Amino acid sequence: MPYGWEVFSELLGLFTLYARHPEALAHGHQGEHVMLSPPGHVSKEGFFGIDGLRIFMPAEAFETLVRELTIGCAQGSLAEALTGLRGLYGDV
């Protein structure tokens, strides 16, 4: 399922908020395109959803995904590319 910038930006924003302030999303979040339920809220697993797709993960895998994606997007050439995309799409 291909998704565009709007969905990716919303997902990355939620993951970044959760990585920095997990208590802010302790009860999950339902956005326009993305939903997030951290481990321990609805079930022992964590999950996120993009439109109709739901991806359930063991707690450790969920935490690893959030950590690796947010760190990877915050540094190096990927961070530079994302900065350019934010400017292009007016998401700054």
Where do the structural domains in the chain lie, given as residue ranges?
A: 5-89
92 band by pLDDT with thresholds 50, 70 and 90 = low
**DSSP-derived secondary structure letter, 89:** H
Instruction: For residue range 46-80, list pLDDT tens digits in order.
Output: 999 999 899 999 999 999 999 999 999 999 999 99
Query: What does pTM read for this prediction?
Result: 0.89
Please give the share of the chain, as a percent, with pLDDT higher than 70. 98
Place of tokens 């339920």: 37
